A and B are shown apart, each in its own frame.
Chain A
Amino acid sequence: MILFTALLSPAVRALPGWTVGTAGESAWLTGILAFPPFLLLGWMVFSLCRRSGGLAQAYQDAFGPLAGKVVIVIYLSWALFLLCAEGRLYAERMLSAGYRSAAPWVFLLVLLGVVLWMGRRKLGAFARAAEICYLVLALTLGLVLLFSILDMSPEHVLPVWITDVPAVTAATLVPVGVLSCGVFGGFLGGNVTRRSGDAERGLLWLLAGCGVLTLLQFGVLGQLGPALCGRMDIPFFEVARGVGVDGAFQRVESVVVALWVLSDFAMLGLLVFAIRKGAGAVLGPRWEHWAAPVAVIVAFLGGLTLFPDDFSVEKVSSAWVPWGNLILAFPVPALALIVTNVKGRKKTDTSCGEKRGKDTGYG
């Protein structure tokens, strides 16, 4: 649930605005095509966490203590960078949503303050808060999509044909790249109590998530059309502007934009907790306590200094961030899993050999 809530913010930012350029009106199919890569990612992280209880420990087990720590430091650095970028993007969204006379540092400071407050507490408390945020956001998203789908133009999303598959496949890199920052959830795997049926539940959540990505793009494209989608900063909020029932409520985009702060909170909180866990693994448990305030301060200063204007952060988030996420989400965990499996097999072979030796009198 933390992941679902946290990833809603980058999802509405990137989809379908970044996919229509490649896939046109078929962009909504990228949600469906993203399922296999997400399934692979989920399976890799689940397998690593099941053996070692958290990605940090898994990397140390796979690559050895020193190399594992180097890998974790790379993840931590990327998480800090994402913190800066996500924070700045959220502040930018607040300004463009209507608070144009305000300063971005106010929004950033306030949200980072809340994130720090929760970041110093138990993960369980943050998880519970994220669950409530999920309920609120799911309701809001559901209502916006319902109203948008009821009033859409079919010509904006149809027809789709086999000839669209190559373009859609290429465009699928966008949701996969943007949302694979969810790999940082693997760092919290050590705090999750294993229960039977976890894998099935995870699969259901993944299916639901891909369904949401599909419906999101379907609804937004159906309302705006591909070309207008590509021009908008965040097409989803443009669609939210049109949501309403005449004579009852109208023009609720201010509410929707404000409520999306909950998703930003979940995203920034997820990154802070991942940094806490990673710092604890690299520097020791004592440093876990200090990681949250340091990360938040870096996020605040970095968000304002690394990205002095909206154009720089948008360029980074659309060009660099997806590739960075992809590298950290796929090849590295895959390599760790392969190494872990090989090590595991060697151990099994060795212990079998020893057993045989004992049986036959060798050794």
Chain B
Amino acid sequence: MRVKKSAVLLLCAALLPLSGCSRAEAALPYAHEIEDTVLMGALGVDLKEGAPGRVAVTVSSGGRSGAGDSPGQSPVVLSAQAETVSAACAEMQTFGSDFVFFGDVEHVLVGEEQALTGVMSLLGHMARDPELRLEARLWVIKDGRAGDILFDAASDGGAPDRLTALETDAELAASPAPRTAREVLSDLLDNGCALLPALERRPARTGDGAEGEYTVAGAGYAILRNGALAGWTGEEGALGADLLTGDAPGRILEFAAPSLAQTALRLTEVKTELTPSFTDGVLAGLAVTCRIEAQVAELRGADGLSEEGRIWLEERLAQTGEAAIHTALDLAQTLDADYLHLGRKAALAAPWRKAELETQWKAGFAALPISLTVTGQVARM
């Protein structure tokens, strides 16, 4: 009898949500059917044109090619404006009958104007929102708006696929290394500055595979300081940053000399050592030693690589690397933004100087004498 009573009570409790009692329903977590859902893969944030202080949020889903009986679907792009990102996202729920789901957003794009005003509020929203996640890749759009890129890519299979391709191709080509929102937020909070990969909108060219009028391509890195855009690395600075952060392997560098054939070198390994120097407990300088190893990717117009040619290539490799690293370091000191985490790396190299570095690094970085030694090695054909 006791078991019967317990079973009846449990059954009643379980059926309570079906009773139409709205309080019971509201108390339970909210569910929605998957077929009434649109999965967004990319999110873009811009300043609303003509209305500073308001943001324009654009989201795009991926396209789906039809398979078997199911029809394909072209990417869905939605855009809304509001004072905050969350309000704009909430407004999008009112567009159409489907539920807009942001949990699959893999890429977040920030327009240049928005980046100039700061990204901390966006990152804070991503940290607190249960759907958006900090594992999403963060990109800054150089000379452009994130919304334009998302709308352009809609006719080219959808922005998420293109951005994912850029991310995975970063190791093979000259695309900037992707970074997650979490890494950027962590750098901004710990270091005050961060490095962010940049993209730009270019007119499509014949042979680049784009179906629409425009395409999106890598454009070096953006440097954020105190949460806002402070500058761009440019191509040479991007190479220098990659060399210092260890993201350079896979890059192709081309060299030509009067006595040597056109040569392409592929970077295979980069080793960087930092040694801080102190005088009477005061930070006096930083020695950066970089060793770049490469292999010959292509040798045009010659049968083989002679010893003189190899030495020449190694010298040119070292010079190129030195110039790139110099550019990156100069930019860091000019902007007073240690976006390369040199201070942290110096502390790792000399932990007994940790306390001095913590107190003196930030204040002295901009004027710190940095000596740079770069060696190049062509290890194999």
Residues of A within 8 A of B (CB): 96-103, 105-106, 153-156, 158-161, 163-164, 223-228, 231-232, 238, 241-242, 251
Contact = CB atoms under 8 A, between A and B. Distances in A.
Contact of A224 (B26, B29, B133, B186): B186
Contacts of B133: 241, 251
B129 to A, nearest CB: 10
Contact of B30 (A102, A164, A223, A225): A102
Given A103-B26, A224-B186, A228-B186, A241 B355 contact: no
A226 B135 CA distance: 17
A251 B103 contact: yes
B347 interface: yes
Interface in B8-50: 26-30
A159 B347 contact: yes
Given A228-B185, A231-B189, A163 B355 contact: yes
Contact of A99 (B29, B185, B186): B29
A227 B123 CA distance: 14
Q: Considering residues A101, A164, A232, which has the most beta carbons from chain B within 10 angstroms of its beta carbon?
A: A101
Contacts of B30: 99, 101-102
Contact of B28 (A98, A106, A154): A106
12 contacts: A155-B344, A159-B347, A160-B351, A161-B351, A223-B182, A224-B182, A227-B189, A228-B185, A228-B186, A228-B189, A241-B135, A242-B135
Interface residues of B, number: 27
Contacts of A251: 103, 133
Contacts of B182: 223-224, 228, 238, 242
A159 B348 contact: yes
Contact of A225 (B27, B186, B345, B354): B186
Contacts of B135: 241-242
B28 A159 contact: no
Given A155-B345, A159-B347, A227-B190, A232 B127 contact: yes
Interface of B: 26-30, 103, 127, 130, 133-135, 182-183, 185-187, 189-190, 341, 344-345, 347-348, 351-352, 354-355
Contacts of A232: 127
Contacts of A227: 186, 189-190
B103 A158 contact: no
Contacts of A238: 127, 134, 182
Contacts of A159: 347-348, 351, 354
Q: 10 closest pairs, A vs B, by CB?
A: A227-B189, A159-B351, A225-B186, A101-B30, A99-B29, A103-B27, A155-B344, A98-B130, A102-B29, A106-B27
Contact of A156 (B185, B186, B352): B186
Q: Considering residues A97, A153, A228, which has the most beta carbons from chain B within 10 angstroms of its beta carbon?
A: A228
A74 B273 CA distance: 59
Contacts of B186: 156, 224-225, 227-228
Contacts of A101: 26, 29-30
Nearest to B341: A155
A153 B179 CA distance: 13
A100 B183 CA distance: 26
A156 B187 CA distance: 10
Q: Considering residues B28, B186, B351, which has the most beta carbons from chain A within 10 angstroms of its beta carbon?
A: B186
Contacts of B183: 153
Contacts of A241: 133-135
A90 to B, nearest CB: 15
Contacts of A226: 190
A160 B127 CA distance: 28
B24 to A, nearest CB: 9
Contacts of A96: 130
Contacts of B189: 225, 227-228, 231
Nearest to B352: A161
Contacts of B352: 161
A106 B30 CA distance: 13
Contacts of A158: 348, 351
